[in-house]
Amino acid sequence: MKELSLLEIRQLNVTVRRGCHYVPIVKDVDLEVPERRSVGLVGESGSGKTTVLRSVLGLLPPNVHLASGTVAFEGSELTSCSERQLRQVRGARIGVVWQDALAALDPVMRVGDQIAEVVRAHRSVDRQGAMESAKQLMRQVDLPEVERMYNAYPHQLSGGQRQRVVIASAIAAKPRLLLADEPTTALDVTVQDQVLALLEDLRSELGLALLIVTHDLAIVDQSCDIVAVMYAGRIVEDGPVREVFSSPRHHYTAALLRASPSIDRPGILPKGVPGAAASEVALRGCAFAPRCLKADAICFETTPDLTGSTSHRAACHHRIETKGNNASAGSQ
Amino acid sequence: MRRYIVGRLAQLLFVVFGVTIATFSLLHLVPGNPARTLLGAKATAREVIVLTREWGLNKPLPVQYWDYLTRLVHGNLGTSVYYQSPVNSLIAHALPVTLAMLGIGALFGVCFAVPLALLAATREGRITDHVIRAVPLVGLGMPPFWVGLVLLVVFALAIRIFPAGGYGAGFGGHLDSLVLPGLTISAVTTPILVRSMRASLVEALNSEFIAAARAKGLSATRVLFRHALRNTLIPTVSVLAVNLGYLLGGTVVIENVFGLPGIGNLMLTGILNRDFDVVQSVTLMYAVVVVFINLAADLAYASLDPRVVLGR
Amino acid sequence: MSLPLLFADDRVNQDTSRPLRSWLRNPALVTGFLLLVVIVGMMVCAPLISGYSPNQQDLYHVLSGPSSAHLLGTDELGRDVWARLLYAGRVDLVIGVAAVVAPFVLGSLLGLVAGYYGGVIDVIIMRLLDIVVAFPFYVLVIAIVFALGAGIGSIFVAITLVGWVSYTRIVRGEVLVAKRLGYVQAAKAGGLSAPRILIRHLLPNVLTQAVIYAMSDVVLTILAVVTLGYLGLGVQPPTPEWGSMMQEGSEFLRIHPLLATAPGIAVVLVGLALSLIGDGLSAELGKS
């Protein structure tokens, strides 16, 4: 029996307006985040992964449009919600952890107040009550000297502390899903582990589902149950982390794994992926074909569909076969 | 902080020195005999000699400058030939009028600019935005005194709501007579403020922390006012301060249009009547005021923006 | 604090090989330029359009309103307002543009020197700047014109003495930034002498901002000339000048408001045209 999906994205298409044309940047994306599970959305910069995340809450920049597709959260369709309805979802049901905490925080407002305002927006408490809740949250994310830190400004905190503040405001209204956009990229390596561990703890404490957008496979390896790999605006492979990482079916995934220094391959040196990442959606053929060693004519002609077993799918005409892998041969 | 203020005051002192030298040389800039400059072309040789002796104009320049400085330090700003009274008291009466006018003008400017900037920034790229962006374009080309004249024609002569000039009597009368001049000044402040506020609001609204605030589920009002606007106020304070100096100069002409007895008017009558002490002292005073305004603006900026650490 | 780039190379749909095309598509630039052409055209053709000499008095028809004979009526000496408006425009525009040249040159030079050499020279120039800046613009200009006696020459001197400041600031700022960039270091390493570096290499690159500012400065200068004219300190009568026209007209606000308001509208229109051009230019030149 399939797990209950908290978030279900179907056939998401996002376009950006350049001059008089509309250029697609996300194409036919299907993504699911089951309850209490952690999903990693992986890709290089330009792959469209951040756009997918922003589409969920309707936070796309002015010239970017959600052309088609559905985003269902707890059964309700978010794309047809009014701004007012969306506001009730934001923060209260879905929280966001941002990449650059310094940029995500208001530079002229005390950090404690920034957490408190989330509480006040979604629960009817007075200022004092909100302040207390904020301090409680700050303790929950392991921020030291809460009393003093409440009155600090963002620029006075370290990167790791700022990120914790962002996490605190993301969970302040007790959401059920947390969207994290490269939550550790701007941090030092040592702090990265701490923050990931914190996210993990909070997940189990609060029963949160997690959607992490990242380019770092190690994070997905460490924190996620399910992974979806994006390339040039499309999902090229998805499935359980263990399975995808041990037997990748798409050549891009395989290349990424080879290039990643820490995943499960001690002693093997990382190998770069040749060529530059494509940043535009390929309208014909597979976007990865120019860089793929196994590409042939059909790869340039026809866009492969995302197919495979129900749990592990890949969009490739020439899937990587490994023993014990009973994927259907060839393309669809 | 204290060190910073002391440092700035030292800088101020230096500038004031320079200013006194500049105002002192005003008289001596002119080719020819300074006494003749003061008395005008029609003066007789006799009058010139008398004045030269009286004012010590034949002493060497450094000595004259020293005398001038000593006089200043004692608070003596000279005597007005035209009004036959000490310049100190003239300025004391005139300054409040000008400051009141500037204050009202700045207030009007802010009251007009904020809603316009908010409207333009929230509807960026649409028609409303383009229309509002035209305001600075048209406004910056308007001579302030012309605006005053137009306002006079419409509100004082055609529809008689406000007085056509003068300062009026009593607090109410004063305010009444400052409305049109204040509006005239806002014709200068509003375009400048709209332009800079709109630009900085647009920048703020497109920034990451505003997206983050919206993602928290905060209401649009709160996002706009508490976050976007708050961040915009800070650079606006600098813009206002920088332009205050320019505005101060504009008061000279505006007071003329409305017949207000402020320092601008004092300056003009001083010029037209060759009342040298008045011109010199008022010019000096303008400069000192501007330097203080800049200091105050820096301090205000520092207190508003927690990221600024003065003195580094 | 801008949104994170959504994709690696943000190729904007622009024709970079034909800059002129881009200029022609810029609405501000085009509108401003057209407006300016119309205005200047009218002034140049003044004798053809107006039919009256600006100083031609007709004491039988003073202070008359707009009519078929006189487009905007006549002033207190029976002179045709429309003709005076056009001829005054010539005076104000020419002076306005010409008066920007000296501050531009002087200020840019000082800024170049201050920024490049730094040290004592920089300190001296900046302190001088502080002193000039301490005075409100109009106060200083009026005082200088007063000291030197009213007239066009004094206007030029006064505006130069007060107006160089903005250019120095701008150019000095640009030089300080450019000093660290590659091409300056390369020129130095190549053994080029300082003046040569300054003029051949530095100048063209740092002047862009100064030129953009000069556009808006022309507007400010015209305003200053007009204001001085209003105060009787500028261009002397009987030469028609917008400011002095407004001064004369202010006495007749009740009977013939057009006298004082028409010249102002002319100033606003010129200011609008120049500001549009300035805005358009800064958008285009900033695209590099």
- Asked if A61's CB is within 8 angstroms of C12's CB, the reply is no
According to CATH, the topology of domain C3-287 is: MetI-like fold (1.10.3720)
In chain C, what residues touch A46 (CB-CB under 8 Å)?
Answer: 6-9
Task: Tell me the shortest Cα–Cα distance from A106 to chain C, in angstroms.
Answer: 11
Q: How far apart are CA B64 and CA A291, in angstroms?
A: 84
CB pairs below 8 Å between A and B: how many? 80
The confidence band for A274, taking pLDDT boundaries of 50, 70 and 90, is low
In chain C, what residues touch B282 (CB-CB under 8 Å)?
Answer: 139
CB pairs below 8 Å between B and C: how many? 154
Query: Nearest Cβ partner of A106 from B124, B209, B234?
Result: B209
Task: Tell me the shortest Cα–Cα distance from C125 to chain B, in angstroms.
Answer: 13
CB pairs below 8 Å between A and C: how many? 34
B252 touches chain C (CB under 8 A): yes
Strand duo A64-73 + A76-77: pairing? antiparallel
Count of CA atoms in the C-beta half-sphere (13 A) of A47: 22
Q: Give the model's pLDDT for residue C18.
A: 55
- Does the model's pTM come out above 0.80? no
What single string gives the DSSP state of each residue in A2-66? Answer: PPPEEEEEEEEEEEEEETTEEEEEEEEEEEEEETT-EEEEE--TTSSHHHHHHHHTT---TTEEE
Kindly tell me the sign of the dihedral angle through the C-alpha atoms of B99, B100, B105, B107. Answer: positive
- Asked if A96's CB is within 8 angstroms of B215's CB, the reply is yes
> Considering only alpha carbons, which residue of chain B is nearest residue C2?
B207
The confidence band for C4, taking pLDDT boundaries of 50, 70 and 90, is very low
Query: Nearest Cβ partner of C3 from B19, B142, B208?
Result: B208
Average pLDDT, chain B: 81
Task: Tell me the shortest Cα–Cα distance from A325 to chain C, in angstroms.
Answer: 35
Count of CA atoms in the C-beta half-sphere (13 A) of B155: 20
Substitution target from C3, C5, C6 for chain A, most A beta carbons within 10 A: C6
Query: Within a 10 A sphere around the Cβ of A10, how many other Cβ atoms?
Result: 14
Q: Which residues of B touch A (CB under 8 A)?
A: 124-125, 206-209, 211-220, 222, 226-227, 230-231, 234, 304-307
The confidence band for A177, taking pLDDT boundaries of 50, 70 and 90, is very high
Give the neighbours of chain B: at least 3 Cβ pairs within 8 Å.
Answer: A, C
* A241-250, A283-292, A319-328, B217-226, range with the lowest pLDDT: A319-328
C219 touches chain B (CB under 8 A): yes
Task: Tell me the shortest Cα–Cα distance from B67 to chain A, in angstroms.
Answer: 51
B7 touches chain C (CB under 8 A): no
In chain C, what residues touch B30 (CB-CB under 8 Å)?
Answer: 147-149
In chain C, what residues touch A279 (CB-CB under 8 Å)?
Answer: 7-9
In chain B, what residues touch A90 (CB-CB under 8 Å)?
Answer: 214-217
Encoded amino acid at A18, one letter: R
Q: How far apart are CA B100 and CA B198, in angstroms?
A: 27
Domain for residue A112, yes or no? no
Q: How many domains does chain A have?
A: 1
| Nearest CA-CA partner of A102 in A170, A45, A153, A50 | A153
Q: Give the model's pLDDT for residue A332.
A: 35
What single string gives the DSSP state of each residue in A253-319? Answer: HHHHHHH-SSSS-TTPPP-PPSSPPP-S--SSS-TTGGG-TT--HHHHHSPPP-EESSS-EE--SSP
* A219-233, B154-168, C6-20, C190-204, range with the lowest pLDDT: C6-20
In chain B, what residues touch C268 (CB-CB under 8 Å)?
Answer: 138, 141-142, 146
Q: What angle do CA A232, A234, A240 make, to 5 degrees?
A: 120
Task: Give mean pLDDT, residues A272-298.
Answer: 77
Q: Give the model's pLDDT for residue B235.
A: 81
Q: Give the model's pLDDT for residue A239.
A: 92
Does A77 or B25 have the greater pLDDT score?
A77
Domain layout of chain C by residue ranges: 3-287
Substitution target from B126, B207, B216 for chain A, most A beta carbons within 10 A: B216
Substitution target from B207, B209, B308 for chain A, most A beta carbons within 10 A: B209
Domain residues for A266? 225-332
- Asked if C146's CB is within 8 angstroms of B146's CB, the reply is no
Q: Quick check: A326 pLDDT over 60? A: no
Task: Give mean pLDDT, residues C76-80.
Answer: 80
Interior/surface letters C247-267, b for 16+ CB within 10 angstroms, e for the rest: bbbbebbeebbbbbbbbbebb
Q: Give the model's pLDDT for residue B236.
A: 84
Q: What is the separation of C-alpha A158 from the centre of its chain, rounded to a whole number of angstroms?
A: 24
C271 touches chain B (CB under 8 A): yes
Query: Within a 10 A sphere around the Cβ of B76, how many other Cβ atoms?
Result: 14
Q: Give the model's pLDDT for residue A272.
A: 67
Q: Is the ipTM of this complex over 0.90?
A: no
Give the neighbours of chain C: at least 3 Cβ pairs within 8 Å.
Answer: A, B
C250 touches chain B (CB under 8 A): yes
Task: Tell me the shortest Cα–Cα distance from C168 to chain B, in angstroms.
Answer: 16
Task: Tell me the shortest Cα–Cα distance from B130 to chain A, in angstroms.
Answer: 17
Q: What are phi and psi of C173, to 5 degrees?
A: -60, -45
| Nearest CA-CA partner of A80 in A72, A300, C106 | A72
Structure tokens given for A92: 């209260």
Alpha helices in chain B (DSSP H): 2-29, 34-39, 45-55, 61-73, 87-122, 127-139, 144-151, 170-205, 208-215, 220-222, 230-258, 263-272, 276-304
In chain B, what residues touch C36 (CB-CB under 8 Å)?
Answer: none
- Asked if A83's CB is within 8 angstroms of B222's CB, the reply is no
To the nearest whole percent, how much of chain B has pLDDT over 70?
92
Substitution target from A106, A156, A163 for chain B, most B beta carbons within 10 A: A106
Task: Tell me the shortest Cα–Cα distance from C199 to chain B, in angstroms.
Answer: 32
Domain for residue A321, yes or no? yes
Query: Within a 10 A sphere around the Cβ of C193, how many other Cβ atoms?
Result: 9
pLDDT digits (tens, 9 = 90+) for C122-167: 888 988 888 888 888 888 888 888 777 778 888 999 999 999 998 9
The confidence band for B38, taking pLDDT boundaries of 50, 70 and 90, is low
Q: Give the model's pLDDT for residue A269.
A: 60
B:213-242 residues touching chain C, CB 8 A cutoff: none
In chain C, what residues touch A276 (CB-CB under 8 Å)?
Answer: 8
Q: How far apart are CA B35 and CA B48, in angstroms?
A: 6
Query: Nearest Cβ partner of A51 from C6, C11, C13?
Result: C6
Query: Nearest Cβ partner of B286 from C136, C261, C267?
Result: C136
Q: Which residue has the tokens 């307002």?
A: C81
Kindly tell me the sign of the dihedral angle through the C-alpha atoms of B83, B84, B85, B88. Answer: positive
pLDDT digits (tens, 9 = 90+) for C226-277: 999 888 888 887 788 999 889 888 888 878 888 888 899 999 999 999 888 8
Q: Give the model's pLDDT for residue C107.
A: 93
Task: Give mean pLDDT, residues B222-248.
Answer: 83
Kindly tell me the sign of the dihedral angle through the C-alpha atoms of B107, B108, B113, B116. Answer: positive
Q: Give the model's pLDDT for residue A39.
A: 93
- Asked if A21's CB is within 8 angstroms of C13's CB, the reply is yes
B131 touches chain C (CB under 8 A): no
Q: Give the model's pLDDT for residue C167.
A: 92
Substitution target from B91, B146, B283, B307 for chain C, most C beta carbons within 10 A: B146
Q: How far apart are CA C277 and CA C283, in angstroms?
A: 10
| Nearest CA-CA partner of B101 in B190, B182, B164 | B182
Q: How far apart are CA A34 and CA A73, in angstroms?
A: 10
Encoded amino acid at A41, one letter: L
